[in-house]
Amino acid sequence: MRTKILCLSTSMLWALLAIPGCNPSVPDTPTFEDDVEPILFANCVRCHRDPPQNGAPIRLDTFEAARDNSGGIVTRVKLDRDDPRFMPPNTELVLSDRQIEIIENWRATGSQAGPRSLVGTSKPKVIASVDGSSYRDAVIVGYELARPDGGEVYGSVHVIDEDTGASFVLAEGLASGSGEVVWELDDYVGGAYEIVFELDNGIDIFTVSAGVLTVPSPQ
């Protein structure tokens, strides 16, 4: 099922809102299951999947594929955005410094898989994309929500100001499947904003960052 959620203007939504785990410390020895997989799914797997989409040469949706290509991932996400090799391409979202550090630590400490538990089979995954081509009007956040075991996922989308730490709830009531959230920009302040999904699989709450979006200041 594909849904479209139209959100209120930011002037009506800004609030100092605590999002569990939105700024945790970077783990010293990250694992694929707990730390790296959510980053790759939220930012890379829309193209690097099976089969690869949009000309992507490799998959990154499995532990083995991510481990074998970890060096290339680190290199390409740290390039200048105007470099044709920069990843992720063709999107307004970029990985946050914390996400990049997690992947670097994971590679430096042996690219551990982590335990695949029963919780792991029900752990929700989000694939996100952002269309900011019409910043004067709105930003469109696309998403796919799923669980490996086919169960239901529910969630919400939050936006965090990178400079002030202030945040607001962009949309609630998300459910398994794909859809779009529209962030109306009729009254907003330009800057860098992290897009965060808070997901509920009926067992636990998971917070997944979809990266950082830079919105230009109004003309």
- pLDDT tens for 47-67 read 898 888 888 899 998 899 999
Averaged pLDDT for residues 128-150: 78
Between 23 and 148, the higher pLDDT residue: 148
Between 14 and 152, the higher pLDDT residue: 152
For the question of whether the overall pTM of this predicted structure is more than 0.85, the answer is no
Cα 192–chain centre separation:
15
Q: Which domains does the chain have, with CATH numbers?
A: 1-18+26-219 (2.60.40.10)
pLDDT of residue 117: 47
* pLDDT > 70 fraction of the chain, expressed in percent and rounded: 80
Range name among 42-46, 188-192, 195-199 with the lowest pLDDT average: 188-192
Between 150 and 6, the higher pLDDT residue: 150
Averaged pLDDT for residues 133-146: 78
